[in-house]
Structure 1
């Protein structure tokens, strides 16, 4: 992993507010990460949380696949993808491909708030250990 954790943030439409609230709650961690997001999610995070991040296309227009490419090229360390399991997604093959690339490349992936909390704890531990190594 790079010295700065690289985190992809994605959320289906009905989960975007959950992700914004989650990121706000853990802003102390996320402000120390290099962040990537799909378009709509990224724009909302920039507007509502004032975070610097790199945005890609929206998920249905290929953004999930763009982030999958970063994962395949070892340019992302963690993925938080809050999925809506109760709504059919028109781009489900892209979603499946993103989940698969996380598995193939052994990248930690959170698909709900409980696992996202666990990932943020791990990112926080990494940041703390990086800080203590600087002294």
Structure 2
């Protein structure tokens, strides 16, 4: 009886998720696998679902009802059925930026960030689709917030085997960088300043260890709307080892319509374009 009840509850979750526009790209069997990590929670009007400043540990999907995003007692926006809650804290690895308060009775599906990491390992294809959903939602909300920085950077990143080809590229076009601020890793910046000794306009330092997920990651900068182009040189054979992270990063570039170069020839084309 317990197993039967559990199956019925799981089917309810699957059916509820399949109805949502946000999951329109998922197959039924993918939703079924994803739903194994989901828990459902009912909420009452006035209930605080997420608190500003707290470290985000879970993502919410509104199944029924409405919630308000509140800051300093002001309702910034109302979220309804099918919308996500808390994904910005996940994607950008930062604390909650506002309170989430129920505007009506309703129900939310919850998945922890730890379980999302498990999905990356056990169901990588589902994880890629999920990251695409999260990044699109984050982009839409960042657009709504209208808090874009006025700086626009050209991101230049490379793995260690490609350091000197990319440095040679930077040196050959050093006049270009005077009017185009770049975002690079501290290690690349160190090589440029100590070994090459050229003065270029470095606007931001990045963490190459994770393409997405931290405030200093390339993905966070892209989602802020402050990237004109990305030059990403990597050794293709080595790239396979980190394929999921790279796939998520490529999706980000597609979602945000950011020109992406993966070799010197396409990097030159981007400079010509800009």
Q: Into which bin does the TM-score normalised by the smaller protein fall?
A: 0.7 to 0.9
How far apart are the structure 2 equivalents of 1:4 and 1:106? 17
CA RMSD of aligned residues (A): 2.2
Q: Does 1:76 align with 2:223?
A: no
How far apart are the structure 2 equivalents of 1:98 and 1:45? 25
Quote the offset at 1:93 in angstroms: 2.9
Is the 2:231–2:260 Cα contact (8 Å) retained in structure 1? yes
Q: Mark the structure with the bigger radius of gyration.
A: 2
Is the 2:179–2:201 Cα contact (8 Å) retained in structure 1? no
Aligned residue for 1:56?
206
Which structure is higher in helix share?
Answer: 1
Higher relative contact order (CA 8 A, sep 6+): 1
Q: Does 1:16 align with 2:167?
A: no
How far apart are the structure 1 equivalents of 2:166 and 2:178? 15
Gapped runs of 5+ residues in structure 2? 1-148
Q: Tell me, what secondary structure is at the counterpart of 2:236?
A: coil
Which structure is higher in strand share?
Answer: 2
Aligned residue for 2:266?
115
Is the 1:9–1:41 Cα contact (8 Å) retained in structure 2? no
How far apart are the structure 2 equivalents of 1:68 and 1:88? 17
Quote the offset at 1:99 in angstroms: 1.6
User: Which digits, 9 at most, give the CA deviation of each residue in 1:17-57, with x for residues without a partner?
Assistant: 00000011111111211110123223323432332412122
Aligned residue for 1:129?
none
How far apart are the structure 2 equivalents of 1:95 and 1:38? 17
Gapped runs of 5+ residues in structure 1? 124-135
How far apart are the structure 2 equivalents of 1:73 and 1:5? 10
Change (3 A) 1:88 1:9: closer
How far apart are the structure 2 equivalents of 1:3 and 1:72? 14
Q: Does 1:103 align with 2:254?
A: yes
Q: TM-score, length-normalised on structure 1?
A: 0.76
User: Which digits, 9 at most, give the CA deviation of each residue in 1:80-113, with x for residues without a partner?
Assistant: 1111112246544333222210111110000001
Report how many residues are paired: 119
Quote the offset at 1:3 in angstroms: 8.3
Q: Tell me, what secondary structure is at the counterpart of 1:86?
A: helix
